[in-house]
Amino acid sequence: MKTIQFFSFSLLLLCLFNNGVSIANADFIADICGEIAKGNPTVMAGACSMALKSDMSTSGQKDLNGLGANTIHLIIAKTNNLNSQIKMKLNTVDPQIKKPMQECSNAYSTALANIKEGHPAYHNADYATTNVKLAAALDNVDACKDAFPGMLKGKFPFTKEAEDQARLVKIGLALVKIKENCKNDPNTSNSCPNKPKGMAKPQPKPVMAKPQPKPVMAKPQPKPVMAKPQPKPVMAKPQPKPVMIKPQPKPVMAKPVPKPAMNQPNATLEFEAFSRAAIKLIRMKARDMEANTSNKLATTTDPKTQKALQECQTAYHDALGRINEVYDIITTDNYRATNMKLSALLNKAHTCEDAFKAAGKMFPFAAPTQKYIEFLTIGVAVTKLSA
């Protein structure tokens, strides 16, 4: 009898231990996904948690470094599997979509190569390179979407798989960003592995209330002087009735000029394609600027110039993240939100130049920065037409 009780108690402890581990892992992933969702409105916290918990390689992770590495490994597997499905379908699809399917296959092959290059960079703590490679892979995914325009929109047979893959890439990008921030400052996130724990924040000293002045007693007011009775008013003589002006005819209102027919399918599709093309140009120019600052930083020894270049690198890195958000938002036809985000980017376009001015150094990227500002101005103007 005692043996049975001991066995039952041991089994109960084992179950509790296993459940505790699962709950701890789930809480860690939920916290990470909550942090990702705050910084990226296109990734929902619930969808992020579901994606990471659905695979054994990521669901069991309890630290940021392991979760990031296994997420990139999972992205490679998902991308490879999706590309294989596309290639198998090429010989049996409707001839009308065979060409765009081939473009998708090429796009995912390129994406796979980019992600594989980013994997070892992550293990070497080269988070900037990892970020560039994953962002390039996301561009390749967008290229597949662009291969199905107009009447072909929605005919891609693997839409759900493509959305799952794109969501994973965005999660991977966010994890790399958190890891990069942790490397620079462990206090930026509660998920940072080296974040000091248990340090109590200094409490502000209590502010002593100042003594209040004694109330001033109001002086007694003199009694009011009674007003003398006023003489009765003289009645005015009746005035002659005013001459009524004849009513004037109402002005003829000009008929409103009809707006351009943006609601027509062809016009809308052409405008959306033009807007996406403008944002692609902005993203390409921002990526070039980030690469230029990284290359310049690697060969510069002057401390003031290095500091200015680091501010430039951070500014263009943040701009790329916002441009990726804009690219996702415009597919929902929310041109007002798109216009607001592009306008915010335009307001910060001089951040890099200002950093060099503050350092007292000559700005080496004047021409490409001007081109970047021109592209942003075009994007703001285009999206404002439909906002």
Report d(CA 381, CA 387) in Å as an integer.
10
Average pLDDT for 200-219: 56
pLDDT digits (tens, 9 = 90+) for 231-257: 666 565 666 665 565 666 565 454 544
Cα–Cα distances in angstroms (integers) from residue 214 to residues 60, 184, 211, 218, 219, in the given order: 68, 56, 9, 12, 15
Average pLDDT for 102-116: 93
pLDDT confidence of residue 94 = 86
Quick one: DSSP state of residue 63?
S
Length of the chain: 387
Share of the chain above pLDDT 90, in %: 19
pLDDT confidence of residue 102 = 92
pLDDT confidence of residue 327 = 74
Q: How far is CA 162 from the centre of its chain?
A: 20
**pTM of the predicted model, to two decimals?**
0.51
pLDDT confidence of residue 250 = 62
pLDDT confidence of residue 152 = 81
pLDDT confidence of residue 244 = 62
Q: Which residues of 17-28 are buried (b: 16+ CB within 10 A; e: fewer)?
A: eeeeeeeebeeb
Alpha-helical segments (H) within the chain: 2-39, 45-53, 56-59, 64-89, 95-123, 127-146, 159-184, 265-299, 303-330, 335-347, 351-359, 366-384
> Which range among 53-57, 82-86, 347-351 has the greatest average pLDDT?
82-86
CATH topology of domain 1-148: Butyryl-CoA Dehydrogenase, subunit A; domain 3 (1.20.140)
Label residue 356 by pLDDT band (50, 70, 90). Answer: very high
Q: What is the CATH number of domain 262-387?
A: 1.20.140.40
pLDDT confidence of residue 261 = 44
Whole-number average pLDDT of the chain: 76
**Residue 235 CB contacts under 8 Å (≥ 6 apart), including other chains:** none
Within this chain, domains 1-148 and 262-387 share the same CATH topology: yes
> Which range among 10-14, 176-180, 247-251 has the greatest average pLDDT?
176-180
In the chain, what are the domain boundaries?
A: 1-148, 262-387
pLDDT at residue 358 above 80? yes
pLDDT digits (tens, 9 = 90+) for 279-327: 877 888 788 888 888 888 888 889 999 899 989 988 888 888 888 888 7
Residue 81 near residue 158 (C-beta atoms within 8 A): no
